Amino acid sequence: MANHDEDAIQDAGEEALREPEGASEIIETDYEIGQDNITPKIGPFGLDIHNPVFAISGIVVVAFVIVTLAFQDQVGPALGAMRAFLTSSFDWFFLMAGNIFVLVCLGILVSPLGKVRIGGVDATPDYSYLGWFSMLFAAGMGIGLMFFGVLEPAYYFATPWGDQPLSRDLGIVDGVLMDPAAVEAARLTAMAGTIYHWGLHPWAIYAVVALSLALFAYNKGLPLTVRSIFYPIFGERIWGWPGHIIDILAVFATLFGLATSLGFGAQQASAGIGYVFGIEGINDTVTFSVILIAGITGLALISVLRGLDGGVKRLSELNMILAIILLCFVIIVGPTMLLVSQFFGNVGAYFSEIFALSNPIGRDDDGYRQGWTAFYWAWWISWSPFVGMFIARVSRGRTVREFLTCVLLIPTIVSAIWMTAFGGTAIDQMINHVTDSAVFGFVIDSYVPELSLFGMLSELPLASITSVVGIVLVIVFFVTSSDSGSLVIDTITAGGKINAPVSQRIFWVIFEGLVAAALLLGGGLVALQAASVSTGLPFAIVLLFACYALVKGLMDEPR
């Protein structure tokens, strides 16, 4: 044991005791990081928090939860209506903004700006490719791939609600399978429409935020907090209220995004446990979901206490391995050759349909464009401060080109592989068994989206084992999200300090669990999801300015 500890310490030492790095273009400012912080002591716990940001974020969160619980009959429908209004009235704006983010990222990738290195010209990467990529995926969309991998392709293939991509023909209509040519066309459209939502566009949104944060912190020397991105626009005023508001909005979006996801995730996991172990009614009792939230929060707490390297990184690597095993299993025991051949066809369909799918005007597929795409774009954008900040934190030492390749291109390919395997197998099951397939039952017949993955796995061998692996993956992805989310919120509310007392991070991780549990018990998760998605619109505008700041910041850097 002692030797083991020494080895671990030695490893940490080799990693930690690196040589410092070379030049970058530091921004001269009179602002001293932490100058607005206060250091109160609560019992034995010392705190180091940004004065208005921490207090206002905490008060706003508590007030919002109380109001949502007390007036859920009024607040829920109002927020739901606001979300519907935003996605139906501003769908063109979300789609256009998404396209701009992709173009900016691709432009930087192929331009000489791609040579800039995050952290200065001689900086060395903080993490290996495996550790880095695992964390990128765990933070970015791990949980979403589990939830939507089967649901979305199967849904678009046979939706009876008229919200398929580009209003194309379906593969199954009224429970009847169409002719082979129509089925193949519907399958390709379903896969292209799905990969579009999990490909270049969402990752470009994350990449813009992450790259901007990393650039302004590691190369420009500004605090690692969201407001720093806007220094080129606001100048020194960013240290005042404009900056406070940006940071508070970021905390708000992160905490509510995480709390609602934690709540829904607990419901999904409990539904999965009920289905796999045949426990009737477990899905209907919030008690079990609250116990799951407590368990996930407890695991996240342990992960927090083990730090970034010992906690999030290791869990992300574990999840990456489990996800690869599950993926390989589905490919091998599923229709292997079919999936392999479909992969290239799906990617081809994605690229050939991307212009039609991303066109913001003159379309008649309102259900898909507004109900799915605009909602997704708002959701990705509202999550971008959290995911972007976490990605920034672990990306020091990479060149911009390397960063964009690994944050934009590779995840798109991985998403395409994942969707091909899970969605392709599900659609194959629907083609072979039509209305008798479990996927058709859960996605089309009686809409139970949280069981779609388990439905697909139930028709493959070793379903009881793979379903448990699926549940473990969902839970561990939530642990990593909860841990990395509290890391991000803590950094923002500490004014960009990354060495604030651990007790603050513990406070946020517990607070997150409490907000999720309170909303699950009192109702209001859907309202909160609507609220956090609604932050997508102001953030989309903010991110367009961030694109300008990013390009300007990169142009000043030595290459």
Partner 1 sequence: MYRKVIFPVDLTHIDQLTRALQTAIDLALHYKAEICFVGVSGTAPSALARTPQEYESKLAGFADEQGKAHGLKSSAKACISHDPSIDTDKTLLAAIAELGGDLVVMQTHTPQALDYIWAGHGDTIAVHSKASVFLVR
User: Which residues here bind partner 1, judged by CB under 8 A?
Assistant: 5-6, 8-10, 12-18, 20-22, 24, 26, 32-35, 44-45, 119-120, 126, 217-218, 221-224, 305-310, 393-394, 396, 496-502, 505
Shortest separation between residue 61's beta carbon and partner 1, angstroms: 22
Nearer to partner 1, 455 or 496 (CB): 496
Contact 546, 98 (CB under 8 A): no
CA separation for the pair 250, 382 (Å, rounded): 8
Identify which of residues 55 and 305 has a Cβ nearer to partner 1 in the complex: 305
Structure token pair of residue 539: 């953030």
Q: Smallest distance from the beta carbon of 403 to partner 1, in angstroms?
A: 15
CA dist., res. 376 & res. 193, Å (int): 12
For 265, the 3-state DSSP assignment is helix
Nearer to partner 1, 272 or 496 (CB): 496
Considering the complex, state which of residue 164 and residue 219 has its C-beta at the smaller distance from partner 1: 219
Nearest to 430 by CA among 450, 452, 463, 462: 452
Instruction: List the alpha helices (DSSP H) in 215-309.
Output: 231-234, 241-276, 286-305, 307
Q: Which two tokens stand for residue 350?
A: 């994605």
Nearer to partner 1, 153 or 223 (CB): 223
Q: How far is the CB of 41 from partner 1 (least distance, A)?
A: 11
Please, which residues have CB within 8 angstroms of residue 229's CB and are 6 or more apart in sequence? 209, 212, 213, 216, 546, 549, 550
* 188 vs 394, beta carbon nearer partner 1: 394
Residue 4 burial (CB count, 10 A): 8
In the complex with partner 1, the residue whose CB is nearer, 357 or 494, is: 494
391-416: string of b/e by CB count within 10 Å (b at 16+)? bbbbbbbbbbbbbbebbbbbbbebbb
What residue type is 408 in one-letter code?
L
Q: How far is the CB of 289 from partner 1 (least distance, A)?
A: 29
**CB closer to partner 1 out of 134 and 373:** 134
- Determine the Cα angle at 444 with ends 438 and 445, to 5°: 75
Instruction: Provide, rounded to whole angstroms, the least separation between the CB of residue 4 and partner 1.
Output: 13
Considering beta carbons, is residue 431 or 500 the nearer one to partner 1? 500
Structure tokens at 333: 């025991």
**Amino acid making up residue 22:** G
Q: Residue 37 belongs to what H/E stretch?
A: strand 37-38
Shortest Cβ distance from residue 44 to partner 1 (Å)? Answer: 4
Phi and psi at 106, nearest 5°, equal -65, -35
For residue 297, the minimal CB distance to partner 1 (Å) is 18
The nearer residue to partner 1, 36 or 163, going by C-beta atoms, is 36
Structure tokens at 236: 């020194």
β-pairing, 37-38 vs 41-42, is unpaired
Number of H helices, E strands in the chain: 24, 6
> Max alpha carbon distance in the chain (Å)?
71
Q: How far is the CB of 81 from partner 1 (least distance, A)?
A: 41
Give the nearest distance from C-beta 557 to partner 1 in angstroms: 13
What is the nearest approach in angstroms of partner 1 to the Cβ of residue 37?
9
